A and B are shown apart, each in its own frame.
Chain A
Amino acid sequence: MLSLLLILLASLFFTGIIIRTKSLASGRKGPGIFQPISDVIRLFKKGAVYSETTTFIFQIAPSIYFASVIMAILVIPFGTTKGIISFNGDFVFFAYVLALGKFLSIISALDTGSSFEGMGASREALYSMFAEPAFFILMGSFALLTGHTSFYDIFNTLHFDSYISYMLAALATFVLIMIGMIENSRMPIDDPKTHLELTMVHEVMILDNSGFDLGLILSASYLKFAMYGALIANFFIDDLSFAIAIPLFFAIQILFAIVVGVLESFMARFRMSHNPQYIFTLSSVALLIFFGVLLVLEKLT
């Protein structure tokens, strides 16, 4: 329960901080940090427009996408507090409930019949597919390390006591930040600010969505960011008391948002053909974690 509330709270300002960081980095003042939320509220007050070529899939996809993100958040624990749902193997559930949402958004993009949206959908499907091994190698390694298969148990039995385990946490944070960037279609994989349909990945898939539906998609992506932030925070919260853990949670979220903002300010987007290469690198970093775990468990001799 606590983690859901905290993630909801963090999602209110997360994207706002990214935008603010980018504005400041380019010498502009930038909008207030709650502007993205105000935009979503404005969109929620509107009706949606549907093109005649679309079917019911296009209409249900945004809701399912949004619901899938909420479902995924439910399994995330907060320190010693369980998530609303917690069972053995819930990290597999986490990954595939998100994949379900993504699948719906991909077929809804195809449903519009636009050549742009088809291209975007194919790109997004490809990148998610490539990011999947990294996530499972990462979580699998921690499952191996702790002997548990649910987020709650993994995070609660994970204790950093040696140099190797600190290194593992640092690498895991890096992999999670990058997966978060890929899943949210941010730089350097995708440019969320571009107006050029031909270079878009995620943005082009939602070109036809409007009003309430667009609001759902946007708020789902804010939630997704805060969700990955919460996963990262869990590595560091351990069994700290709430008085320290909750401020630490928000500090990590804000730091994550600033890192995203800075990353997006000072580099160019990758060439599309370099993206798969880059995403595969994450899998190799995850493999490093795996070998680290084997070292800790003394299975490598």
Chain B
Amino acid sequence: MNYTTVKNNERIQLSAIPELEYELFWELNVLSLMSEEHNHCVNYFGFPYEEKIKLICCIANDETHTIYVSSSLVNTSTHYPSFTSHVLAFEKFEREIHENFGVQYNNHPWLKPVRYARNRANQDETIATYPFYSIASEELHEVGVGPIHAGVIEPGHFRFICNGEQILHLEIQLGYQHRGVESLFLKKDNLLQRTILAESIAGDTVVGHTTAFVNLWETLCGFEADWHLQFSRTLALELERVAVHTGDLSAMCTDIAYQLGSSVFGRLRTPIINYFQQWCGCRLAKSLIRVGKTNFVYTEELAQILLKILDAYEPDFIEMCKELFRLPSALSRFEKTGVISQDDAKKLGTVGMAARMSGINRDIRSSHPHDLYSEMQHEPIIKHHGDVYSRAQIRREEILQSIANIRKLLQNIPAYSPSTLPLSSPTANSFALSLVEGWRGEICHCAITDEQGALRCYKVKDPSFHNWLALGLAVRNNEISDFPISNKSFDFSYCGHDL
């Protein structure tokens, strides 16, 4: 076998991952993505290993619910053929490997810096000299937006090449935030600090990233989370989905200047995030999820409050959706705007909503279930047009689906029995991988430990990381004034990308 097969949240010995010659490694992974449509790359990264760079590629198969892991050792002096020249889905991953470790590729089509990490291989490359794609034509014009966002959210630069009002090309350059999340995971050896770090990866996906971290850590330590812990994580994930999707619908209405939708959805989001405050003292659900325990035990009273909130939420939400989804002026903005065809989405290897809007059945909750999703028999919501309208519809239907899931969960609240055994330390020389379906899509955390069981490599992949390219392609041939609504309908994360 050229690869080893693992399940979501499964620990293996690092030595169990076959180490291949690069040519074989290339062939295996490129062919695996080209030949099998249920395969997609969940993570592909490198880390320093015995004076060389060890590349680890994780390909998930949605049909067999497994993940194929293979590895290869490369050095920085040789030029390697790139995966990207055949499979576009590897584009961002290879750029990152090139930027971090200086691995050379000889036929990568777009080998530009990704996020200018402080410990990048080539310190001469700076954000001020980013090599933008440019045009010499006098007929076309360039529009640069950012890095300061008009709504002062997060920094990102968007460079448009336009023919009048029509966008011909959009290049998205991120990497203005240098928090160094991944290296901080290695530096901070206190578990609480690491958990808080995971909570801070993306402020809008606190539950998603923290669940990925705790699941991964518990896997490394061989800890079996009890039913109550799994219950509260699943519940929090679904609640986060409801809250953020509602907020996004509100923001989409704001972007098309539909005031009623903007304010009604905005109002509906508040009780949901306020509920997190009641549950754990933080509206963003920070401090809710901890490794091996919970500080905020879920009670019957909390469930009653939540049911009341949902009973008030649902009729208003459905009424507002009815209004929005039959308003001609709103539909004329939504329909056929920012389209990604199924073919493109497959090539890009998009995940989460950005895949499901184009008719791709890709949802970790059903393909690699974790926590209580294994019992839920989750049915992903799929749309087929790949436009803003599809993304709005997915949000509406996922919210209703999540509420139904929450109601089902609340019918049976498991009692909490704190584990009496202290949490053991992670096993030495291990590799573990954790996939979580956050509201935005698939989050992948990978960890590798050294001989002492200390972290040797911690890899975070937010769905935004490789999904951003979908936005760049979606706005092509659209009007430039439709960019904001396309952007909002994807709602990718800047900090999740920059780390």
- B259 — which chain A residues lie within 8 A by C-beta? 22, 25-26, 193, 264-266
Instruction: Count residues of chain A with CB under 8 A from any CB of chain B.
Output: 30
Report yes or no: B263 in contact with A198, Cβ–Cβ below 8 A.
Answer: no
Closest to B324 in A: A268
Query: Given the interface contacts A267-B327, A272-B482, does A27 sit within 8 Å of B267 by beta carbon?
Result: yes
Q: How far is the CA of A91 from the CA of B257 in the complex (A)?
A: 34
Is A50 an interface residue, CB under 8 A from the partner?
A: no
Residues 112-154 of chain A: 1 if any B CB is under 8 Å from the residue's CB, otherwise 0? 0001101100000000000000000000000000000000000
Is A242 an interface residue, CB under 8 A from the partner?
A: no
- A274 — which chain B residues lie within 8 A by C-beta? 332
- B151 — which chain A residues lie within 8 A by C-beta? 195-196
CB distance from A184 to the nearest CB of B (A): 15
Quick one: which of A25, A27, A188, A271 contacts B482, CB cutoff 8 A?
A: A271
Quick one: which of A191, A198, A269 contacts B145, CB cutoff 8 A?
A: A198
Is B258 an interface residue, CB under 8 A from the partner?
A: yes
Report yes or no: A266 in contact with B260, Cβ–Cβ below 8 A.
Answer: yes
Is B38 an interface residue, CB under 8 A from the partner?
A: no
Report yes or no: B260 in contact with A273, Cβ–Cβ below 8 A.
Answer: no
Report yes or no: B257 in contact with A269, Cβ–Cβ below 8 A.
Answer: yes
Is A199 an interface residue, CB under 8 A from the partner?
A: yes
**Which B250-285 residues sit within 8 Å CB-CB of chain A?**
253-260, 262-264, 267
Residues 312-339 of chain B: 1 if any A CB is under 8 Å from the residue's CB, otherwise 0? 0000000000000001011011000100
Residues 82-119 of chain A: 1 if any B CB is under 8 Å from the residue's CB, otherwise 0? 00000000000000000000000000000000011011
Quick one: which of A119, A196, A265, A272 contacts B260, CB cutoff 8 A?
A: A265
**Which B266-307 residues sit within 8 Å CB-CB of chain A?**
267
Report yes or no: A271 in contact with B260, Cβ–Cβ below 8 A.
Answer: no
Is B143 an interface residue, CB under 8 A from the partner?
A: yes
Query: Given the interface contacts A195-B150, A272-B479, A272-B481, does A119 sit within 8 Å of B257 by beta carbon?
Result: no
Report yes or no: A196 in contact with B255, Cβ–Cβ below 8 A.
Answer: yes
Query: Given the interface contacts A268-B333, A271-B332, A272-B165, does A198 sit within 8 Å of B481 by beta carbon?
Result: yes
Quick one: which of B260, B332, B337, B481 contacts A26, CB cutoff 8 A?
A: B260
Query: Given the interface contacts A187-B257, A196-B150, A199-B481, does A270 sit within 8 Å of B329 by beta carbon?
Result: yes
Report yes or no: B482 in contact with A268, Cβ–Cβ below 8 A.
Answer: no
Quick one: which of B141, B253, B481 contacts A115, CB cutoff 8 A?
A: B141
Is A197 an interface residue, CB under 8 A from the partner?
A: yes
Is B354 an interface residue, CB under 8 A from the partner?
A: no
**Which A1-50 residues sit within 8 Å CB-CB of chain B?**
22, 25-28
Q: How far is the CA of A269 from the CA of B337 in the complex (A)?
A: 14
Q: How far is the CA of A268 from the CA of B334 in the complex (A)?
A: 11
A-B contact count (CB 8 A): 86
Is A194 an interface residue, CB under 8 A from the partner?
A: yes
Is B142 an interface residue, CB under 8 A from the partner?
A: yes
Is B45 an interface residue, CB under 8 A from the partner?
A: no
Report yes or no: B256 in contact with A268, Cβ–Cβ below 8 A.
Answer: yes
- B260 — which chain A residues lie within 8 A by C-beta? 25-26, 265-266
CB distance from A213 to the nearest CB of B (A): 21
- B262 — which chain A residues lie within 8 A by C-beta? 26
Closest to A27 in B: B263
Residues 475-495 of chain B: 1 if any A CB is under 8 Å from the residue's CB, otherwise 0? 000011111100000000000
CB distance from A60 to the nearest CB of B (A): 27
- A26 — which chain B residues lie within 8 A by C-beta? 259-260, 262-264
**Which A190-206 residues sit within 8 Å CB-CB of chain B?**
191, 193-199
- A271 — which chain B residues lie within 8 A by C-beta? 332-333, 337, 479, 481-482
Task: Give chain B's interface secondary structure class.
Answer: helix
Query: Given the interface contacts A268-B327, A270-B332, does A28 sit within 8 Å of B263 by beta carbon?
Result: yes
Quick one: which of A22, A115, A264, A269 contacts B256, CB cutoff 8 A?
A: A269
- A118 — which chain B residues lie within 8 A by C-beta? 141
- B480 — which chain A residues lie within 8 A by C-beta? 119, 198
Is B144 an interface residue, CB under 8 A from the partner?
A: yes
Report yes or no: B141 in contact with A268, Cβ–Cβ below 8 A.
Answer: no
CB distance from B261 to the nearest CB of A (A): 8
- B484 — which chain A residues lie within 8 A by C-beta? 196, 198-199
**Which A216-254 residues sit within 8 Å CB-CB of chain B?**
none
Query: Given the interface contacts A268-B258, A271-B482, does A115 sit within 8 Å of B143 by beta carbon?
Result: yes
Report yes or no: A268 in contact with B481, Cβ–Cβ below 8 A.
Answer: no
Q: How far is the CA of A268 from the CA of B324 in the complex (A)?
A: 10
Residues 258-288 of chain A: 1 if any B CB is under 8 Å from the residue's CB, otherwise 0? 0000001111111111100000000000000
Report yes or no: A193 in contact with B257, Cβ–Cβ below 8 A.
Answer: yes
Report yes or no: A273 in contact with B329, Cβ–Cβ below 8 A.
Answer: no
Quick one: which of B142, B255, B263 contacts A199, CB cutoff 8 A?
A: B255
- B327 — which chain A residues lie within 8 A by C-beta? 267-268
Closest to B142 in A: A115
Q: How far is the CA of A272 from the CA of B256 in the complex (A)?
A: 11
- A194 — which chain B residues lie within 8 A by C-beta? 254-255, 257
Closest to B165 in A: A272
- B329 — which chain A residues lie within 8 A by C-beta? 188, 267-270
Q: How far is the CA of A119 from the CA of B479 in the complex (A)?
A: 12
Closest to A265 in B: B259
Residues 22-34 of chain B: 1 if any A CB is under 8 Å from the residue's CB, otherwise 0? 0000000000000
Closest to B253 in A: A268
- B254 — which chain A residues lie within 8 A by C-beta? 194
Closest to A190 in B: B257
- B253 — which chain A residues lie within 8 A by C-beta? 268
CB distance from A119 to the nearest CB of B (A): 7
CB distance from A271 to the nearest CB of B (A): 6
- B482 — which chain A residues lie within 8 A by C-beta? 199, 271-272
Closest to B479 in A: A272
Q: How far is the CA of A88 from the CA of B251 in the complex (A)?
A: 51
- A115 — which chain B residues lie within 8 A by C-beta? 141-144
Quick one: which of B143, B257, B483 contacts A116, CB cutoff 8 A?
A: B143
CB distance from B264 to the nearest CB of A (A): 8
Q: How far is the CA of A284 from the CA of B142 in the complex (A)?
A: 36
Q: How far is the CA of A115 from the CA of B161 in the complex (A)?
A: 11
CB distance from A117 to the nearest CB of B (A): 11
15 CB contacts below 8 A, A to B, read A27-B263, A115-B141, A119-B165, A193-B259, A195-B150, A196-B150, A196-B484, A198-B484, A199-B482, A264-B259, A266-B259, A268-B329, A269-B257, A271-B482, A273-B165
Please give me the 9 A-B residue pairs with the lowest Cβ-Cβ distance, nearest first. Answer: A191-B257, A26-B263, A269-B257, A268-B258, A268-B329, A268-B256, A196-B484, A272-B481, A199-B481
Chain A interface residues (CB < 8 Å from chain B): 22, 25-28, 115-116, 118-119, 187-188, 191, 193-199, 264-274
Given contacts A266-B260, A270-B329, 17 further A-B contacts (CB under 8 A): A22-B259, A25-B259, A115-B141, A115-B142, A116-B143, A188-B329, A193-B257, A195-B150, A195-B151, A197-B150, A199-B255, A265-B260, A266-B259, A267-B258, A268-B333, A271-B481, A273-B165
